[in-house]
Amino acid sequence: MSTPTTPAPARRPRAATALARGLALVTGTSLGRYQTAVLRIGFSFTWLCFLLREWPNRHELYGPDAPWGWTMAQRLIADNHAFTVLMWSGSTVWFEVVYALAVVSAALLLLGWRTRTLSVLFMIGVLSLQNRSVFLGDGGDNVLHLMALYLVLTRCGQVWSLDARRAARGTAQGRDATGVALWTVCGLALATAQLLGAAQLSWTGHGPLPGIGWALALWGLWGVQGLWWCVRRYAPGEPRAVLDALAHLAHNGALLVIMAEVCLIYSTAGWYKIQGSRWQDGTALYYPLHLDYFSPWPGLSGLLATSSVVVLLLSYGTVAVQVAFPFTLLNRRVKNVLLGVMMAEHLGIAVLLGLPFFSLAMIVADAVFLPTSFLRRTGGLARRTARRLLPARAPRVPVPREGEAAARTPVG
């Protein structure tokens, strides 16, 4: 007598399974934690070094003594609707305050202190100074400009930051009086700016997205920060899980945009070079080596320019590397080798052409494609080196107050 057979369960289509796994991945975890930490450290370090180097010249670059005067900048911003808080007032005191806040925000973001708030302040500092004098810069300012916008949406403080250290100690789930005070001060600053200059400030109608002004964008970021704190403290269940999923999604989306932006920079630069006659005949590098403005080491530049073979190989190699880079992402080994070649190329540009901040910005942008294993080994090596160089701190022993020694002494 035969036993009845149960019908086999219907198999889920492979496409639906892959889609479900992909959705669970992008909403369940923040990808590229070490890569975004490198971006945070690298770009804040680049901007901080630039601001400190130009500290004696800050008035001539972005301040009241700049050749691009305040009135001309105001006319240009009224036309292109760029965001800069330096246009809120033409006083020297206001300029000094904004420049100092840009320096402080870059330093604190480098350390990873309150990265959610400091990334917004870092973005405001970058946009305010760069949009004040748009004709300054060497190309690296454009990269820094874009990356400052994208870093706001990333969770770039999960590793190698003071925030990660505080979370590891278990102090991030407390009352967090410092975070509440910082959030309150930012809200008061936004409200003051809106109430005092709502009639003449051009930051309400134009912003980072169509239909969203900068005032609405900044208030939205401020409100999300407050909502995050309230949900973490009073609703740690499903509302916290929903906000975590949205944060993961925003982080992964911003990371994808950063990677696409780097590929776009190299592909457009390479294909435009192909169309130039000087790049086609291999003599493009010869001309900047003979310009005094791009020759910090005239002897070295002249030595390279005398060898036509070296100039030809460097010119063709630059074009080949830039055009081929987006396609090498399909092969991990080739991509890693090409990353090393491109970073070496940017180091050469920094030395030969005297463009250190452009090269540093591009090297940091390239670091988004570095393998996680390499970054973790590098971080471990840096940690062990710091422990060897820095003296070990003795553990703190609490000193009992007067009258508590007898109570704390064990009986017998």
Residue type, 55: W
Q: Give the pLDDT of residue 3.
A: 53
Burial of 239 (0-12, 13-18, 19+ CB in 10 A): middle
pLDDT tens digits for range 361-403: 999 999 999 999 999 999 999 888 888 887 655 555 555 544 4
Q: Give the pLDDT of residue 197.
A: 65
- Give the list of residues 6+ apart from residue 391 with CB closer than 8 angstroms, or none: none
Mutual orientation of helices 14-28 and 238-274 as an angle, nearest 10°?
100
- Give the list of residues 6+ apart from residue 371 with CB closer than 8 angstroms, or none: 332, 336
Query: Taking 90 as the threshold, does the pLDDT of residue 410 lie above it?
Result: no
297 in the Ramachandran plot: left (φ > 0), alpha (ψ -120 to 50) or beta?
beta
Residue type, 394: A
Query: Taking 60 as the threshold, does the pLDDT of residue 405 lie above it?
Result: no
Nearest to 248 by CA among 40, 14, 36, 19: 36
The CA-to-CA distance between both ends of the chain, in Å, stands at 81
Any idea how long the chain is?
A: 412
Q: Give the pLDDT of residue 132.
A: 92
Which pLDDT band holds residue 404 (cuts at 50, 70, 90)? very low
Burial of 16 (0-12, 13-18, 19+ CB in 10 A): exposed
Cβ-contact 335, 369 below 8 angstroms: yes
SS3 label, residue 212: strand
| % of the chain beyond a pLDDT of 70 | 89
Query: Taking 90 as the threshold, does the pLDDT of residue 196 lie above it?
Result: no
Query: What CA–CA distances, in Å, run from 205 to 208, 212, 301?
Result: 10, 7, 49
